[in-house]
Structure 1
Amino acid sequence: MIKLFRQMQPYYPLIGLILVLTFLQTMSELFLPTLMADIVDTGIAAGNIPYIWRIGSYMLLFAAVGMLCSIAASYFSAKVAIGFGRDLRSRVFAHVENFSLQEFDRIGTASLITRTTNDITQLQQVLTMMLRMMLMAPLMMLGGLIMAISKQGQLSLIFVVVIPVLGLAIFLIGRKGMPLFKQMQTRLDTLNMVIRENLTGIRVIRAFNRDRYENKRFDGASRGLADTAIKVNKLMALMMPVMMIVLNFSIIAIIGFGSVEISYGRMQVGDLMAFVQYATQILFSFLMLSVIFVMVPRASASATRINEVLDMQPDIVNPAQPKPLQQDSRQPVTLKFDDVTFHYPGAEQPALEHISFEARRGEVTAIIGGTGSGKSTLVNLIPRFYDVSSGRIEVHGTDIRELEQSALRERIGYVPQKALLFTGTIAENIRYGHESATEEEIAHAARIAQAEDFISEMPEGYNSEIAQGGSNVSGGQKQRLSIARALVRRPELYIFDDSFSALDFKTDARLRAALREETTEATVLMVAQRVSTVIDADQIIVLDEGRIAGIGTHHELMDSSEVYRQIVSSQLSEEEIA
């Protein structure tokens, strides 16, 4: 937690102001019991009304100063804590944006969401408490001790017993609460994961009538969090009774011994009243510290989780001296795989093994194969979502690991297997591929992607709103908008990762014909399940269990590749094959 709080340099001036205000508030509160003692011993005892009014006005003045300082300190404390939370959240988000898919797989999306929201909120809350109480509590305790001793030194020996007892109670409760707070955050991760899966998979849940099962699953995760929270709260609930018992017995002892001192004339009534108030202030300063100790374990657990994210360095980074990516018009090969092998982290068998091929400018290179053959894995290596385990991937003759990631991805128009749209208008979703695209360029990309017809039928055309996740458009419409988003970019390399699966055969054929005319100067890499989608490709790569089982045109593969013939025969009739 201290490591994170070191990032608060921009707020040092405000923190200094908070400390000054807290000091003034504490001093004013410490001075009030002494003034009250003077009123009782000098004013009331002697019947000196002017003295009572004068000292009473001082008390009102000090009370007003303390109140104003308290309000101002609370305001600036909240401002610092919220500002720190905002900066830390931005820092975590920016750091996570640099993660490769390996880091996302390692931590988990649900956990990353919890760490960016709930964990940082825990730190904000404890920071607010620390700014207000971390200085005020020690000052109040030390000042109260000094003032109490000045009133009656012997009576102050009560604190020699009381303070260690309170300190030990706070320590024992805090030490036992720390592992429970860590467990609580982990269970919150699990609950968030269950909620996220339920919300995103609601169609599947209802289609398979699994509502009861998911309710039980949610109840289990919720119950786990609730049980841990109950344990923590039971433990922390001991704090207040212990504090109040010690406080009440201390006051009983003070009044008992103080009355004896008064009877012998060694102490005045006003001093005893002031002493009781100082004792209350001292013990309540311990109560403030106990509140901090209640919150610090959970905040410390949250800080550890946040530091895990910030300390995690992406496996895929930019080179120290990146090479410029320049397109040579004499170089026809845009993309080259040179003996590429790839393992997923922790996997025993490679997902891809000894993959070598070239994709040329102006040509369509199709990749086909059975489920789990490695098609999507192969195209995910090109934008460096993952890095190869061995071998090389070259773009225009340069190893992609020697290029700036942003420079590499600027040359790629990527359409993922699962079409993803963002909340906003259709135009904004298409412009996501090229933020400065004109309306004419957006319309042209939509026309090539065969999306113009359904867009024109929508009430506001290109200004029609897309709901979260694109839930108000069909699967085929989402795919066509995703394709338009890549087309508006006008990249040198197009990657279509099974992006035509939701299209009917007629739309598929029209789209491929339009793409042929649009991408004459670009390289197209097309992953597909359907033979009809790849049959006209200039080059077809057949994958089987992570290895290349054949490369060539449709007719060449029909003669040379048994795997390709099996795929074709499973999808086309004998007349269509002939």
Structure 2
Amino acid sequence: MRELLSRFVAPYRVRLALGVSAKVVEVFFDLATPVIVARMIDQGVAAHDSSVVLRYALLLMGLAIVGYCFTLVCQKMAALVAQGVGTDLRDALYQKAMSLSAADVDRISTPSLVTRLTNDVNQIQVAIALGIRQLVRWPVLAVGSMVAALCIDVGLGLVFFVCIPVVGLVFWLVMSRSVPYFRVMQQRLDRVSLVCREALSGARVIRAFRRDDAERKRFREAAFAQADTAISVGRLSAVLNPSTLLIMNLGVVAILWASGHRVFEGELTQGQVIAFVNYMGQALLSVVFVANLVVVFTRGAASAQRVGEVLSCPVSLVSGSEELDADATDAAVPALELADVSFWYEGAREPAISGVSLSLGQGETLGIIGGTGSGKSTLANLVVRLYDAGAGTVRVFGHDVRTLSFGSLRRAVAIVPQQASLLSGTIRSNLSWRCPDADESALMEALEHAQAADFVLAKEGALDAPVEAGGKNFSGGQRQRLTIARALVGSPRLLILDDSASALDLATDARLREALGSLSGLSRIVISQRVSSVMGADEILVLDHGHVAGLGTHRELYSSCDLYREICLSQLSEGEVA
């Protein structure tokens, strides 16, 4: 936590210093109050001098007003520092999350990243705010109270040195058992976030399969597991306050018992005893608050460790330095080359892709087909470098993708993933992802090629029609066509369609393929479960559990590849295949 704070608190050190200084001044006034009360009792009340009482009362009022002003300054600075650090942390964490590769995100998990961005950063903010407002106050108040009490009477001060270690022992016993729970709490909160996210995103499927009760049970189990941990911590923490208050009250009793006869003999004044009791109360109450603060800081430290894990996570994919100008590339250079490419997911026993080699010329179409889990999408992800190949080389327009900058690679290569993803905003804002400066004519041209212009123009506002989160106000086929149009904006040289027309009817799919085929210079990779979508490709790659089962034209594969022939005949008649 120290390293994290030193990095993110540094820009706010002036405000931090102002807040701490204001709190120190406020504590000084608190330490002066018992002495003033003692003098009011000894010099005013004992002497029946109302003017002295009034004078000291006005002094106390003045100190309270000035202390209140310094308190406001401290609160203001604490809020500014805590909110500023929290905002910077979230921004840095979000930027880091966006720079992580797909493999890094898989390892950390999306729900855990969301929890770290929200709950963990909130815990750090609370720790910082309380640190400025309370961590300075209570330790300084405790030490100051002990020093002031010893100045009044050293003998009675021994009561402090008995009570403080006992309170410390209680504190150690409780915290040594509760600290391990805090990290478990955050991990179980990750689980709650995961279950909740899955239930909300898949609500329609859950209802369709009548899994409502099962999902409620799953969420209840995750929520109660987190609650049980929190309750266990709460039970341990609940011992702190009553124990320390009991010790404090016993200390007060000891002071009164020890000082009673000394007041009677004139060795101590009544005001000194009152001041000593006040200092005793301030010191032990400070220890109680420090104990509670340690609980907050322990949770904050656990959260800071989780945030630090993400911020310090090495990025497995680093952008190259070369720039790719696909328009200036020699036409004889293949748009895509795979040389003995293999890839393993982390923890997997078998490769998802094994020994794939092929070459796709510029302006040509490559079809990829195979069963579920055969590695089709994995291959597409390697081309746009969402993952790096474990072995072999992926080249785009003659360049190894690992040497290219992410910007130039993804300007030249556009991918339309299986899951059509739209963000809340407008149709225009979603279409402009690849090219923010694209004018209306370029957007409409992309919509026409994607067979989406008709329903977009039919909407009120056309390009400025609203898009709900996830594109929920569009059908599945409409979302797919919008994502295809988004990929076409900016004129990519290589387009990857990863089963992105699965929700389209056959007629619309055929028009889409015809429209894309009319785009000169555009190389295409079409991944599909439909034979009709790939059979017209210049070359077809057949994958079987990550291995190449066949590579060639439709006619070549139909006659030589048993798997391809089986797929064809499962979807089409022999006449249609021919």
With the length of structure 2 as denominator, give the TM-score of the two structures. Answer: 0.97
CA deviation string 1:20-50 (max 9, x = no partner)? 1011100111111111111111112222222
Amino acid at match of 1:575: G
Q: CA–CA distance in 2 between the matches of 1:346 and 1:38?
A: 74
- 1:414 maps to what in 2? 415
- 2:2 maps to what in 1? 2
- 1:300 maps to what in 2? 301
Amino acid at match of 2:539: Q
- 2:349 maps to what in 1? 348
- Alignment check: 8 A CA contact 1:174 1:297 kept: no
Q: Does 1:34 align with 2:35?
A: yes
- 1:557 maps to what in 2? 557
State the 4+ residue runs in structure 1 displaced beyond 3 angstroms: none
| Structure 2 unaligned spans of 5+ | none
More deviation, 66-75/458-467: 458-467
Matches within 5 A, 1:56-95: 56-95=57-96
For 1:194, what is the secondary structure of its paired residue? helix
Amino acid at match of 1:356: S
- Alignment check: 8 A CA contact 1:414 1:495 kept: yes
Q: CA–CA distance in 2 between the matches of 1:422 and 1:480?
A: 15
For 1:472, what is the secondary structure of its paired residue? coil
Distance 1:47 1:20, change over 3 A: same
Q: Does 1:316 align with 2:287?
A: no
- Alignment check: 8 A CA contact 1:368 1:375 kept: yes
Deviation of 1:198 (Å) = 0.3
CA deviation string 1:56-83 (max 9, x = no partner)? 2111111111111112101211211111
Amino acid at match of 1:68: C
- Alignment check: 8 A CA contact 1:541 1:551 kept: yes
- 2:337 maps to what in 1? 336
Matches within 5 A, 1:443-458: 443-458=444-459
- Alignment check: 8 A CA contact 2:245 2:285 kept: no
Amino acid at match of 2:317: I
- 2:494 maps to what in 1? 493
Q: CA–CA distance in 2 between the matches of 1:576 and 1:404?
A: 44
Q: CA–CA distance in 1 between the matches of 2:276 and 2:358?
A: 88
Amino acid at match of 1:99: L
Amino acid at match of 2:537: A
Q: Does 1:568 align with 2:539?
A: no
Q: CA–CA distance in 2 between the matches of 1:385 and 1:25?
A: 55
- 2:366 maps to what in 1? 365
Deviation of 1:558 (Å) = 2.1
- 2:124 maps to what in 1? 123
Q: CA–CA distance in 2 between the matches of 1:106 and 1:543?
A: 26
- 2:532 maps to what in 1? 532
Q: Does 1:155 align with 2:153?
A: no
Deviation of 1:489 (Å) = 2.3
Q: CA–CA distance in 1 between the matches of 2:367 and 2:223?
A: 47
Q: CA–CA distance in 1 between the matches of 2:125 and 2:292?
A: 15
- 2:546 maps to what in 1? 546
- 1:25 maps to what in 2? 26
Deviation of 1:470 (Å) = 1.3
Q: Does 1:325 align with 2:324?
A: yes
CA deviation string 1:388-419 (max 9, x = no partner)? 11110111212111122222112111100111
- Alignment check: 8 A CA contact 2:29 2:67 kept: yes
Q: CA–CA distance in 2 between the matches of 1:267 and 1:573?
A: 110
- 1:173 maps to what in 2? 174
Amino acid at match of 1:393: V
- Taking only the aligned residue pairs, the percentage that are identical comes to 39
Deviation of 1:503 (Å) = 0.4
Amino acid at match of 2:416: V
For 1:312, what is the secondary structure of its paired residue? coil
Q: CA–CA distance in 2 between the matches of 1:296 and 1:168?
A: 19
Amino acid at match of 1:61: G
Deviation of 1:447 (Å) = 1.2
CA deviation string 1:81-138 (max 9, x = no partner)? 1111111111111111111111111111111111111011111111111112222122
Q: CA–CA distance in 2 between the matches of 1:330 and 1:194?
A: 50
Q: CA–CA distance in 1 between the matches of 2:155 and 2:406?
A: 73
- Alignment check: 8 A CA contact 2:333 2:398 kept: no
Q: CA–CA distance in 1 between the matches of 2:513 and 2:259?
A: 96
Amino acid at match of 1:233: G
Deviation of 1:540 (Å) = 1.4
Q: CA–CA distance in 2 between the matches of 1:417 and 1:66?
A: 63
- Alignment check: 8 A CA contact 1:335 1:395 kept: yes
CA deviation string 1:417-460 (max 9, x = no partner)? 11111111111111123211111111111111111111122233
- Alignment check: 8 A CA contact 1:413 1:490 kept: no
Amino acid at match of 1:213: A
Q: CA–CA distance in 1 between the matches of 2:331 and 2:300?
A: 60
Q: CA–CA distance in 2 between the matches of 1:248 and 1:297?
A: 28
Amino acid at match of 2:265: Y
Amino acid at match of 1:324: E
Q: CA–CA distance in 2 between the matches of 1:144 and 1:536?
A: 87
For 1:230, what is the secondary structure of its paired residue? helix
CA deviation string 1:145-180 (max 9, x = no partner)? 121112222111100100001111112211111111
- Alignment check: 8 A CA contact 1:331 1:396 kept: no
Amino acid at match of 1:337: L
- 1:375 maps to what in 2? 376
- Alignment check: 8 A CA contact 1:364 1:526 kept: yes
Q: CA–CA distance in 2 between the matches of 1:559 and 1:80?
A: 71
- Alignment check: 8 A CA contact 2:124 2:304 kept: yes
- Alignment check: 8 A CA contact 2:334 2:361 kept: yes
Q: CA–CA distance in 1 between the matches of 2:409 and 2:276?
A: 74
Q: CA–CA distance in 1 between the matches of 2:371 and 2:130?
A: 59
- Alignment check: 8 A CA contact 1:423 1:470 kept: yes
More deviation, 171-180/326-335: 326-335
For 1:503, what is the secondary structure of its paired residue? coil
Q: CA–CA distance in 1 between the matches of 2:146 and 2:350?
A: 70
| Structure 1 unaligned spans of 5+ | none
CA deviation string 1:518-545 (max 9, x = no partner)? 2x11211111111111122122122222
Q: Does 1:483 align with 2:484?
A: yes
- 1:137 maps to what in 2? 138
Q: CA–CA distance in 1 between the matches of 2:472 and 2:121?
A: 31
Q: CA–CA distance in 2 between the matches of 1:448 and 1:262?
A: 98
- 2:513 maps to what in 1? 512
- 2:115 maps to what in 1? 114
More deviation, 545-554/93-102: 545-554
Deviation of 1:330 (Å) = 4.0
Amino acid at match of 1:115: R
Q: CA–CA distance in 1 between the matches of 2:199 and 2:94?
A: 24
Amino acid at match of 1:503: L
Q: CA–CA distance in 2 between the matches of 1:345 and 1:157?
A: 62
CA deviation string 1:465-506 (max 9, x = no partner)? 111111111110110000000011211111110111110000
Deviation of 1:561 (Å) = 2.1
Amino acid at match of 2:323: P
- Alignment check: 8 A CA contact 2:411 2:434 kept: no
For 2:395, what is the secondary structure of its paired residue? strand
Deviation of 1:563 (Å) = 2.0
- Alignment check: 8 A CA contact 1:177 1:297 kept: no
For 1:496, what is the secondary structure of its paired residue? strand
With the length of structure 1 as denominator, give the TM-score of the two structures. Answer: 0.97
Amino acid at match of 1:384: R
Deviation of 1:557 (Å) = 2.1
- 1:244 maps to what in 2? 245
Q: CA–CA distance in 2 between the matches of 1:323 and 1:137?
A: 57
Deviation of 1:370 (Å) = 1.7
For 2:183, what is the secondary structure of its paired residue? helix
Q: CA–CA distance in 2 between the matches of 1:142 and 1:337?
A: 71
CA deviation string 1:340-371 (max 9, x = no partner)? 11111121211111111111111111111122
Q: CA–CA distance in 1 between the matches of 2:344 and 2:37?
A: 77
